[in-house]
Structures are given as structure tokens and as C-alpha cells.
Amino acid sequence: TGAVSYDPGFVNTAATSSAITYLDGDEGILRYRGYPIEELAEHSSFLEVSYLLIYGNLPTAAELDKFDQRIRRHTMLHEDLKGFFGGFPRDAHPMPVLSSAVSALSTFYQDSLDPFDDEQVEMATIRLMAKLPVLAAYAHKKSIGQPMLYPDNSMGLVENFLRLSFGLPAEPYEMDPIVVKALDLLLILHADHEQNCSTSTVRMVGSANANMFASVSAGINALFGPLHGGANEAVLNMLRDIQASGEPVEKFVERVKNKEAGVKLMGFGHRVYKNYDPRAKIVKNMAHEILAKLGGNDELLAIAMRLEEVALTDEYFISRRLYPNVDFYTGLIYKAMGFPEKMFTVLFAIGRLPGWIAQWREMMKDPETKIGRPRQLYIGEPERMYPSR
Ligand code: CMC
């Protein structure tokens, strides 16, 4: 069978070529389809970035409007799908609820499952973009026991999601433009990140020609892990634990350095970024601004800033080139917006969706795509005989 190379965690192995996202970890560069993340963060919108990632170029005004209108027309869910939410325990985490609901889309929308039919792929794309934020908001409503509202298609994607998350049937929902703008920006920052764990999962599942809903559902489950998207929730829990313990930040950092079981500086470190995470830079600046406007938890922000300061001057972190990643400050912002901790990773999923879709579509069109099937080095028993009894 020839030599097999051994690369746990695919640290050095490219599993695909891709024209979507460029990432230079040493220089701290991130570009979607060639556009620097800093420029997109300043000038673009999440909807426009989604179009860019999925279709390859920035849309004209007419193209963006059409994309927007199509998504608005597909926000409604099949009524029976709403009943689905009743089957989970009240305290269910919204991430597995979301992945289950997205998986269930392939039972409700069976006319958009063929990965090689362009029209069906387009339909699945629009349906996912339109319905995933609705499912995400319903997962939240389910967890707090509030009624689920119908989407209002006079609103754009982000506004609709906020209203569905926080609105009540009995009173009008007052939209805070600061929150809309901040959430839109955070979604842009999360929209793609080349072959991260969840995206690789989407590709792996899709490489078996699984449909887009099934593939994205698998990606959501990968994102749930605390080393990946779950880190934003884990950061806030860490900050709270430090606050509650009353111990100085330095003491916590010592525990991290001593590698006490399960203690890591969450929101720090990255497989590819070894200089700084350009997304974290944008989020940090924004955290100060938005927390000042929305009145976030100053004490937790102070702990986060002190943690960063201590870590960035400590030999342990310097020698390992560990810097804050995108998740370090996002949780504080989400909290200030009114989202409970359990929703943080769901927000990441909404942001990452266009990236997953773009990567899945690219793979399906790539003539070099093969089913994902890594090799292994067998380290078990040699052949042994079944004992005669
Ligand atoms: N706190 C303490 N030590 C760390 C950390 C951390 N956050 N991250 C890495 N290290 C140490 C690690 O123990 C190892 O030390 P040693 O060489 O002594 O064994 C060294 O740094 C290299 O780390 P690694 O685990 O080999 O790096 P990796 O590329 O396999 O893992 C990572 C990358 C992101 C999983 C890891 O840095 C980590 O667990 N960070 C905390 C979780 C987190 O914030 N994840 C979010 C990532 S960014 C957005 C996303 O993907 O969601």
C-alpha cells in the first residue's frame, strides 16, 4: 500500500485546495476572496460577505437585493418543524438543538438534497441562510420557555434574528441599532476561516456526497466543542470562576502554566495564528466601545484585560506564541447584548454558516474531490487465535 505519513490533527497536511479564504498565521492576515478582513469589517455587511464567500465576488446592488429578497422569502419554517422543539428537555443546550433541527431540514425539504443539481444546491443555500437564524432564535426561546414568534420579512437577517430572539408577542420590539451593527460585524468576523475543525467536518461529511443540511448539521456539532466554537462560552465561564474565587489573575495563570487538569487559558492560542489573530484585534477595540455604550460587565472586562496583560508578558505564553483569539472578547459583547452564555456558540454558528456553505459548494464542483478517508498506523495486538474452550 506504500508509505503512509503520520500527522495527528492534520498539522501539516493540506486536504484540499481552496479559493475562498487566505490565512497567513505568521503575519496575522485573513482575507475572504482576496479582501482583507479589516476592510470588510469596516465597509461591508454580513449579507454581502455571505454572498462574496458563496458566489466568489462582491454583489452588485441588484444582486445583493435579490439575494436579500430570496432569503427573506424563505425564513418561515414548516409548521411541523416547530413541534420538533417540544421534544427536548427545557434545559437543553441550544447547540445540539440547532444541529438536530438543521439535520431535520433534510426531512422537510426533500427537493433540495441533490448535491449535483445546481438548482437544488441553490435552494438549499437560500433555505439554510434564511432558516438557520430562525432555528437558532427558537432554540433560545425554547431554553427560556418563551413563545416563538413568526419571522417578519420586512426585516433583514440580523434584525429578524434579534427580534425572534428577544421579542415578545404582546409588545413591539425596540431594536437597538448599536446591537444590530455590532452583531452584523461579529458575524462578518466569523464567516469563514478556511479548514478549521467544523469546516473540515462539513467537507468530510459532504465528501461522501451527503446533502448540504446533513453536512452543516455535522459542522455545528464540531463547532460545539470547547476547543473550537465552544471557547466563547468557556471564556465567560472562566472569567466568572476567577471573579467568584476572588483569587488574583496571576494565580489562575500559574495554574494554567502548571497544566492543572482541565485548566487552559480559554480564548488563547490558535493552530495557525502564531503572531496575533486579526479578528481578535477588531473585537477587542469593539469590546471597549460597545460595553461603554451598552453597559456591560466592567469587572469581567477588567479581569479579561488583566489576564491578557499577564499572559502576553509571561514566558510560557511568549515561547509558545499564544495570543488572544477571536473568542477571547466576544462573549463579553454577546453578554452585554443580552444573550445568555449558552447562546454564544450558536451566534458563532450563524456567522460561520456562509463559510460552510461556500466550502461545501466548492468541494462539490472540484473535480479533484475524493471521499475523505484518512489512513492510520495500527498499534494493536498482532494476530492471535481464538481460544478453544
Ligand atoms: N492555554 C494554555 N496553554 C496552551 C493554550 C491555552 N489556551 N493553547 C495552547 N497551549 C499550549 C499547549 O499546552 C502546548 O504546550 P506544550 O508545548 O508545553 O505541550 C502548546 O501551547 C501548543 O499547543 P497545542 O495544543 O499543541 O496547539 P494546537 O494547535 O493543537 O491547539 C487550540 C490550538 C486553539 C486548540 C489551543 O490553543 C487551545 O486549546 N486553546 C484554548 C481554546 C480556544 O480558545 N479555542 C478557540 C480557538 S479560535 C476560534 C475557534 O476555532 O473557535
Q: What is the mean pLDDT of the chain?
A: 95
**The three cell numbers locating residue 292:** 461603554
278 ligand 1 Cβ < 6 A:
no
Q: What is the pLDDT of residue 178?
A: 92
256 ligand 1 Cβ < 6 A:
yes
Query: What is the rounded distance in angstroms from the CA atom of residue 298 to the CA atom of residue 310?
Result: 18
Name the residue of 186, 322, 344 to mutate for ligand 1: max ligand atoms within 8 A of Cβ: 322
**Architecture of the CATH domain 16-196+345-365:** Orthogonal Bundle (1.10)
257 ligand 1 Cβ < 6 A:
no
Q: What is the pLDDT of residue 288?
A: 84
Q: Which atom of ligand 1 approaches the CA of 228 most closely?
A: 52
What number does CATH give the domain 231-337?
Answer: 1.10.230.10
Name the residue of 95, 239, 268, 329 to mutate for ligand 1: max ligand atoms within 8 A of Cβ: 268
Name the residue of 224, 325, 344 to mutate for ligand 1: max ligand atoms within 8 A of Cβ: 325
| Residue 228 identity (one-letter amino acid) | H
| Positive/negative CA dihedral, 352, 353, 357, 363 | positive
33 ligand 1 Cβ < 6 A:
no
223 ligand 1 Cβ < 6 A:
no
Q: What is the pLDDT of residue 197?
A: 98
Q: What is the pLDDT of residue 176?
A: 92
Q: What's the pLDDT band for 291 if we cut at 50, 70, 90?
A: confident
Q: Where are the alpha helices (DSSP H) in the chain?
A: 37-43, 46-55, 61-73, 79-83, 94-108, 118-144, 157-166, 177-190, 197-206, 212-223, 231-245, 249-257, 278-294, 298-312, 315-319, 327-337, 344-365
Cell 444541529 sits on residue = 99
Closest residue to atom 49 of ligand 1, CA basis: 228
Which tens digit of pLDDT belongs to each residue from 307-325? 999 999 999 999 999 999 9
End-to-end C-alpha distance for the chain, whole angstroms: 37
179 alpha carbon – ligand 1 mean position (Å) = 31
Please indicate whether the domains covering 16-196+345-365 and 231-337 agree at the CATH topology level: no
Name the residue of 227, 257, 346 to mutate for ligand 1: max ligand atoms within 8 A of Cβ: 227
270 ligand 1 Cβ < 6 A:
yes
335 ligand 1 Cβ < 6 A:
no
| Mean pLDDT (whole number) for 128-156 | 95
Query: Strand 21-24 relative to strand 29-32: parallel, antiparallel, unpaired?
Result: antiparallel
268 ligand 1 Cβ < 6 A:
yes
151-185 b/e (C-beta count within 10 Å ≥ 16 → b) = beeebbbbbbbbbbbbbeeeeebeeeeebbebbbb
Q: CA 210 → CA 45, 137, 355, 369, 372, distances in Å?
A: 30, 26, 17, 13, 12
4 alpha carbon – ligand 1 mean position (Å) = 27
Closest residue to atom 9 of ligand 1, CA basis: 269
Cell 440580523 sits on residue = 158
Which tens digit of pLDDT belongs to each residue from 244-275? 999 999 999 999 999 998 899 999 999 999 98
Q: Enter the pTM of the model.
A: 0.95
Closest residue to atom 12 of ligand 1, CA basis: 320
Q: Which atom of ligand 1 approaches the CA of 198 most closely?
A: 51
Query: What is the rounded distance in angstroms from the CA atom of residue 375 to the CA atom of residue 4?
Result: 7
Give the active site residues. 270, 327
Q: CA 59 → CA 30, 50, 92, 97, distances in Å?
A: 20, 10, 39, 33
Which tens digit of pLDDT belongs to each residue from 72-100? 999 999 999 988 898 999 889 999 999 99
198 ligand 1 Cβ < 6 A:
no
Q: What's the pLDDT band for 1 if we cut at 50, 70, 90?
A: low
Domain locations along the chain: 16-196+345-365, 231-337
ipTM of the complex as predicted: 0.97
